[in-house]
Copies of this chain bind each other. A is one copy, B any other.
Amino acid sequence: MARVVVDVMLKPEILDPQGQAVANALPRLGVSDVSSVRIGRRIEIEFTGEADLDRVREIADKLLANPVIEDFTIHEVADEPVPAGDPS
Contact = CB atoms under 8 A, between A and B. Distances in A.
Interface of A: 1, 7-9, 11, 19, 22, 25-26, 29, 31, 33-49, 52-65, 67, 70-75, 81-88
Task: Tell me how many chains of this kind the complex includes.
Answer: 2
A19 B64 CA distance: 10
A73 B85 CA distance: 6
B81 A29 contact: no
A19 to B, nearest CB: 7
B41 A42 contact: yes
A9 B72 contact: no
Nearest to A22: B63
20 contacts: A7-B42, A9-B81, A19-B43, A25-B63, A29-B63, A33-B48, A33-B49, A34-B46, A36-B45, A39-B41, A41-B41, A53-B87, A56-B87, A60-B87, A67-B85, A71-B85, A73-B84, A73-B86, A74-B86, A75-B88
